[in-house]
Amino acid sequence: MPWCDVCDRLVDDQEVVDGHCPTCETELGTGQREPLPWKFRFMIIATVIYLVWRIYQVISWLSR
């Protein structure tokens, strides 16, 4: 799916009008949006693991 830099959103193939964005009328590039950096993914995974650990600790504390 094409990406509109001006609107900052993905444009569905059915919405594209002659290679232009339907809302702002700018020409859509053929390039794709860059994937998330590995550091950001690592931070998200580490945060989820930490929160699961804290929830486990709270549950074990409440069960005593």
Structure-token pair, residue 58: 């709270």
pLDDT tens by residue, 20-40: 888 888 887 665 667 789 999
The one-letter amino acid at 48: V
The amino acid occupying position 51 is L
Task: Give the span between the Cα atoms of 13 and 19, in whole angstroms.
Answer: 10
pLDDT of residue 7: 81
Residue 3 pLDDT > 80: no
Which pTM does this prediction carry? Answer: 0.51
